[in-house]
Amino acid sequence: MITYASLLGALLLLRIPYIGKILRVTNTLVHEFGHVLVALLTGGKVTKVELFSDVSGTTQTINSGKFGGILTALSGYPFASLFALLTAWLIHINHPKWVVIILMAFALISLIFYVRNIYGFIWLVAFLFIAGWLASKGTFNQIHIAATGFMLILLADSTLSSVELLVISATQPNKSGDAKVLEKATHIPAVIYGLLFSILSVASAFAAIWYFFPPIKDIFR
């Protein structure tokens, strides 16, 4: 019951003004790092990453070719959804510290090499300070609670942001970010990409809850 109440709490907390947006940047970081990783793996170059207070983000890349550009644009939402699933698995197998360590690695690489806008810089420094203290000084219970919090935030926001993209791509396709970039590159409507991202994010959230959360039937025991 506590686990599911925490998931509901995460959904509500993410929508609280100011606090919710600060927390949601965690998912933005993971999303943009997905773009960074795929751009580099396909032989491209990352010129700049920006994280903003409205939880949006941008990753500017120089791609090695059209295919590399398409893969880079495709990567953000799926990477965030699958990473949320990975964090649920790490907590399930009792390795919550790895959740903190991996997020720290994403933040540190982004801070050193790519992020230069003021808000992104400040957010990353603050995140690294808090996560660094947890990793080095925190007790197992403190790390477990923090990792669970990160997992719930990532799981909730990766799903909600994909669904929001679907709505935007259907109603205002010119403002649909990655989906619009993909539409220009492939001539497939942005709403199709919004639908694919939504299906993957919902499936990842369902898999995390089904396999790694306590059984729902046990709530009432």
How much is the pLDDT for 219? Answer: 60
Helix (H) or strand (E) holding 42: none
* Residue 191 and residue 49 in contact, taking contact as beta carbons nearer than 8 Å: no
Instruction: Tell which residue, 170, 177, 208, has the closest CA to residue 76.
Output: 177
* Residue 52 and residue 120 in contact, taking contact as beta carbons nearer than 8 Å: yes
Give CA separation, 80 vs 104, 151, 177, in Å: 15, 11, 15
Question: Could you give the CA distance from residue 156 to residue 201 in angstroms, rounded to a whole number?
Answer: 9
How much is the pLDDT for 9? Answer: 72
Half-sphere exposure of 149 (CA within 13 A, CB side): 15
Half-sphere exposure of 179 (CA within 13 A, CB side): 27
Residue 215 DSSP code? P
Alpha helices in 138-189 (DSSP H): 140-171, 178-186
Residue 154 DSSP code? H
pLDDT in tens, the chain (221 residues): 666 676 677 777 777 888 889 999 999 999 999 999 999 999 999 999 999 999 999 999 999 899 999 999 999 999 999 999 999 999 999 999 999 999 999 999 999 999 989 999 999 999 999 999 999 999 988 898 888 889 989 998 999 899 999 999 999 999 999 999 999 999 999 999 999 999 999 999 999 988 888 776 666 66
How much is the pLDDT for 141? Answer: 86
